[in-house]
Structure 1
Amino acid sequence: MQFQSKVVLVTGGSSGLGFAIAEAFVSQGADLIITGRRQPQLDEAASRLGGNVSAVRTDISDPASLGELFKHIGAVHGRIDVLIANAGMGEIEPLGAITEAGFDRVFATNVKGTTFTVQRALPLMSEGSSVVIIGSTSSINPGPGMSVYGATKAALRALVKSWILDIKGSGVRINLLSPGPVDTPSLRAVLGENAPQVIDLLNEKSTLGRIGQAHEIGQAALFLASEASSYVNGAELFADGGASQV
């Protein structure tokens, strides 16, 4: 699980799980590119990460923005060894209150954006390269108000199963990493004043007795991207303390 001088792209790498994943790759010597929609947060993240890190402002739901990203990577690095397609979003909208605008935003980022991120990255990838797409246990157990978000993550599963056939023989692997609840500031912000009680309930659902820590998702991403998983392709790894398995 060494990535010395490997070119690694982490979309949505300026905060939360994306930042933790970026941290894991930097610790293993990667030449890292992180993206996000807000330049100040990107710059701060790059400074905190240290190492050989560049930050490129990108909105993956915008084809022109994606085009500029991959043009930059091609000119500077000439290749991508690992793509972590992490950028995504979610909105809580229960049935009866789902808005067309909200539906379009979530699908445009999580499904359309991920699709064209992978498609544009492939010409820069070669045999031995790896794609890890960040899904979610919400794809099988979305919970109240999360139907649209869960549907986008379920769509990623279907895409991966088809894509490994589309690129058969290329030597590029595509796998899905689906975290369960992870104790991050963004999760606690979404839960608001109910955060302690909800996290207690989530701890009880886990067969390990706790929810995840962000660095643990980073380690799982390292595994799926590395030679340690060289014969793993088209798989979905649930990193959720066993909650989805019982």
Structure 2
Amino acid sequence: MKKLQNKVALITGGNSGIGRATARRFADEGAFVYVVARREAELAETIAEIGARAAAIQADVTRMDDLDAVYARVAADGRRLDVLVANAGRVERVMLPDVDADHFDRIFDLNVRAAYFTVQKSLPVLNDGASVIMVSSSLNVRGDAGASVYNASKAAVRSLVRTFATELMPRNIRVNTLSPGPVDTPIIDTQAPTPEAVAAFREYAAGVVPMKRMGRPEEVAAGALFLASDESSFSTGTELRVDGGHAELSPEG
């Protein structure tokens, strides 16, 4: 039997990278998946790739009205959620002297505020016994230069999971953190201004991982599947790192 047979899942930021790979894996395992994202063209590509077991909801999860509309759509379809993956996020690398309020607000607005309300506003359509997965990062315990705001935002996500898991325990809703390390997704192409610089960044990112390579979105999706399925039925409030040892091990070995 498939691991998510007859389950309903919703994934934010599901139009590319880790989100798309997770949506595809969930559908392959029997779930019906709502894919939520801002960019219409990429949403359409994702749904075309997955097929009838997925539906697109175009929304900006930083907008409270959009989030309300997302869950209104689920309810209007006569469905309730068994799995929620709060995956939408933003990465920008800025050194401390150059951080301004706009940068700070952009990162925290999506990575923390939107993630918080993605979970809160799901509660009326979230089944008792559901699994909530909040995507953080291996950087939530690191002090890499240029990532002060991003790292702090992902540490906040890890903190939220602990409290959400406690508060939702009476409904048997499990809440866990999924923390990827450096993963080769389209977002990497935004981390440097030229193709040469992007290639250098990929080489750098692989070099700081003890396994000496970047992860693949499908590897992170496998971790999400574990947390979504009954195989993790005794796990709540915890963190699953899919990071090649990035958070805990020295890259020198």
* Map of 1:43 onto structure 2: 44
Contact 1:126 1:171 in 2 (8 A): no
> Counterparts of 1:74-89 in structure 2 under 5 Å?
74-89=75-90
Say if 2:167 is the partner of 1:166.
Answer: yes
Change in Cα spacing, 1:245 to 1:126, as seen in structure 2 (3 Å) is same
* Rounded Cα–Cα distance in structure 1 between residues aligned with 2:14 and 2:34: 8
What is the identity, as a one-letter code, of the residue corresponding to 2:140? S
* Rounded Cα–Cα distance in structure 1 between residues aligned with 2:185 and 2:109: 24
Offset of 1:203 from its aligned partner?
Answer: 3.1
* Rounded Cα–Cα distance in structure 1 between residues aligned with 2:4 and 2:169: 24
Out of 131-140 and 205-214, give the one that drifted further.
205-214
Offset of 1:25 from its aligned partner?
Answer: 0.6
Out of 86-95 and 28-37, give the one that drifted further.
86-95
Say if 2:199 is the partner of 1:202.
Answer: no
What is the identity, as a one-letter code, of the residue corresponding to 1:224? L
Task: Show CA shifts across 1:61-97 (max 9, x none).
Answer: 1101100111111111331000010011122221111
* Map of 1:128 onto structure 2: 129
* Map of 2:56 onto structure 1: 55
Out of 179-188 and 78-87, give the one that drifted further.
179-188
Where 1:202 maps in the other structure, the secondary structure is: helix
Match of 1:223 among 215, 226, 239: 226
> Counterparts of 1:1-246 in structure 2 under 5 Å?
2-191=3-192, 192=194, 193-246=196-249
How many pairs align?
A: 246
The percentage of counterpart residues that share the same residue type is 37
What is the identity, as a one-letter code, of the residue corresponding to 1:156? V
Structure 2 regions of 5+ residues with no counterpart? none
Structure 1 regions of 5+ residues with no counterpart? none
Q: CA RMSD in A?
A: 1.6
Offset of 1:142 from its aligned partner?
Answer: 4.8
What is the identity, as a one-letter code, of the residue corresponding to 2:119? V
Offset of 1:215 from its aligned partner?
Answer: 0.4
Contact 1:7 1:77 in 2 (8 A): no
Contact 1:11 1:36 in 2 (8 A): yes
Using structure 1 for the length normalisation, give the TM-score.
0.94
Where 2:179 maps in the other structure, the secondary structure is: strand
Using structure 2 for the length normalisation, give the TM-score.
0.92
Offset of 1:231 from its aligned partner?
Answer: 0.2
* Rounded Cα–Cα distance in structure 2 between residues aligned with 1:90 and 1:198: 14
Offset of 1:222 from its aligned partner?
Answer: 0.1
Where 2:133 maps in the other structure, the secondary structure is: strand
Out of 111-120 and 159-168, give the one that drifted further.
159-168
